[in-house]
Structure 1
Amino acid sequence: MVLMPYTTVQRKIMGVTHIGYVLASTITAESRFEAMEQITSLLRQRHRLRPHEENDFTVISQVEFASTVMETSHTMGILLGSIALVSLFVGGIGIMNIMLVSTTERTREIGIRMAVGAKEKDILFQFLIESTVLSSLGGLIGIIFGIFTSKLVSYYGGWPSLVSPPSIAVAFLFSNVVGIFFGYYPARKASRLNPIEALRYE
């Protein structure tokens, strides 16, 4: 720790003539409101502000500051959650399109499987498993990329990052749910094909 006169810091280091902020403490938490009023009154007097003029400074308690930080974090959480939901929806639509194309291209294969005894639930489970595997692979790639990116930001940006195993498990489980949800329609469509029409498909 280096202690220096504030005038020296202003002139030699910061290149300013004003004080950016002042930290003050009260004896008890209950007296902070009275202290804030006294500080506000003193600063208005020192800044020569008239009664009708607004403050050209801000006085905030640590409780209000913590509340502001929490509100900002909550807003950022909602924003990031919205982006994640949109990304999941777009990814789910992509999985559905891939599975619809897959079922169309494999119509003859589905017809052969039905002809040799495969039931509707067998076809349904087959394509559900395929869509789940597809989404799970995407989830694993996303988890690896997320961990790598967080470590990279932590290393180069100096920001501490914490990778929580429960959050990884929830993300992986959610990717499976997305695969099942968006893969159900193509799988159901494939399981309801007419075997005769499917065998005739070219």
Structure 2
Amino acid sequence: MNAREAVKTAFQTIISYKLRTFLTMLGIVIGISSVIILVSLGNGTKQQVQGKIQNLGTNLIYVNIIGRGSKNTVSYEETMNLAQLRGIQAISPVISETATVKRSEKLADGIEISGINSSYQAIRALSLKKGRFISPLDFDYRTRVAVLGSNIAQNFFGFINPIGETIQINGVTFRVIGVLKPKGNSIAGSDDDRVLLPASTTERTFYAQGIKSIFIQAQNSKMVQPVLKNLDKKLKALFRNDTNSYKLLNQQDMLDTANSVSNLMTYMLTGIAAISLVVGGIGIMNIMLVSVTERTREIGIRKALGAKRRDILFQFLTEAVLITVIAGLIGILLGISGSFTVKSVAGIEAVISMAVLWVSLLFSIMIGLVFGIVPAYKAAKLNPIDALHYE
């Protein structure tokens, strides 16, 4: 029996048992489609996280002050002394608070407030849509001025030009001096939904006790590692060699961590989805064993007419592989459509890899071969006389 005849016979058998074949395919279809959806969503999530990290700014270093005992923050002076270290281009403390913001009848709770200095704009690569940014004089004189994120400006002012207008933050009046261009989300949050104030004004308004977050920009990518080493030495001295009192992060560290977590989650979810492929393979083996029993007389007739063991083996193995190939193709189509459906409904980015599609198809063929070999071998070794007398 040649391959063409085997495939033709397999098709005829599949069509003869439509419902049984469909139920047999179901496990493979679900497994393949689940793997494709999970991997594509995992790849999309990874790209989104990478974009958010890269959106933080060029050569960014982030310092998180945890503190120990009586010293759990650093002062503004201690922060700015770090700027003297070799390789640092710009530095800005960030005092983070939440507040109630009001303008006329509009009021919103839980608005993010960031107390920063004039270097924050360059470090975070922010652009102004209107007005100006916070200046050194604003910091020195603790002026009550505010720069609004694009979403904040839209929510409170609509189409009115906010420059020169006032808002109340926790009951304190601030004059709006600038509005940021939309930038979108980053791993550090969205400046579109923040109000930026001079750090000195924020300290006084919110009675903030020191600084816990610092953004630092290295002069270039080659200087990132030397700056990290110098920062580590300086902070060790400030916290008496207690390295648990602070954390240093740069873009590459964030990317490596994010990729590691994303890959781990993708592998775990893919492994869980792959279990259904194994279950589907067992279902195929089971149904093929039933088929061998039902077609025992047919096998006996074929052998009586001259069919050899390898012909019977090849025929039943072809049927098993054909079932898994069709199921794999259906699973691939459902996986692609499912990925785009999740993307449109949930807003999660989906990146479909051609490699995953090919691997899925090859894996379905392998399942057909592995789980089809036992029924095929059982059919091939049947004695023709016993098979002809089987009822």
State the TM-score bracket (shorter-chain normalisation): 0.7 to 0.9
Instruction: Name the counterpart of 1:195.
Output: 384
- Aligned residue for 1:91, secondary structure, equals helix
CA positional deviation for 1:115: 1.6
Residue 127 (structure 1) aligned to one of 310, 316, 334: 316
Q: 1:72 corresponds to which residue?
A: 261
Deviation at 1:70, TM superposition (A): 2.3
Provide the rounded CA distance (Å) in 2 between the counterparts of 1:169 and 1:54.
47
Query: Residue 25 of structure 1: which of 217, 221, 232 is its match?
Result: 217
1: CA distance, partners of 2:356 / 2:305: 44
Change (3 A) 1:22 1:157: farther
Report what 1:116 is aligned to: 305
Alpha-carbon offset, residue 30 of structure 1:
4.6
Cα 1:52–1:168 change in 2 (3 A) is closer
CA distance in 1, matches of 2:112, 2:226: 32
Given the alignment, which residue of 346, 361, 370 partners 1:157? 346
**Equivalent position of 2:326 in the other structure:** 137
Q: 1:23 to 1:142 in 2, by over 3 A?
A: farther
Q: Distance in 2 between matches of 1:165 and 1:52?
A: 49
5+ residue gaps, structure 1? 1-5
Tell me by how many angstroms 1:119 deviates. 1.5
Q: Percent identity?
A: 41
CA deviation after TM superposition for structure 1 residue 147, in Å: 0.8
Instruction: Mark the CA change 1:20 to 1:148 in structure 2 (over 3 Å): closer, same or farther.
Output: farther
Over 3 Å counting, the alpha-carbon distance change for 1:14 and 1:83 in structure 2 is same
What is the CA–CA distance in structure 2 between the aligned matches of 1:192 and 1:67, rounded to whole Å? 55
Report what 2:112 is aligned to: 14
Q: RMSD across aligned C-alpha pairs, in angstroms? A: 3.2
TM-score normalised per structure 1: 0.78
TM-score (norm 2): 0.43
- Structure with the bigger percentage of helix: 1
Task: Tell me the CA shift for residue 35 of structure 1.
Answer: 4.4
Cα displacement (A) at 1:130: 0.8
Q: Which has the higher strand share?
A: 2
3-state SS in 2 of match to 1:24? strand
1:129: how far off? Answer: 1.1
Following superposition, the deviation at residue 94 of structure 1 comes to 1.3
Write the letter of the residue equivalent to 1:14: E
Q: Summarize deviations over 1:172-198 as a string: whole Å, max 9, x none.
A: 122112101210111011011001111
Which residue type is aligned with residue 181 of structure 1?
A: V
Cα distance between partner residues in 1 of 2:359 and 2:244: 50
1:10 to partner: Cα distance: 3.5
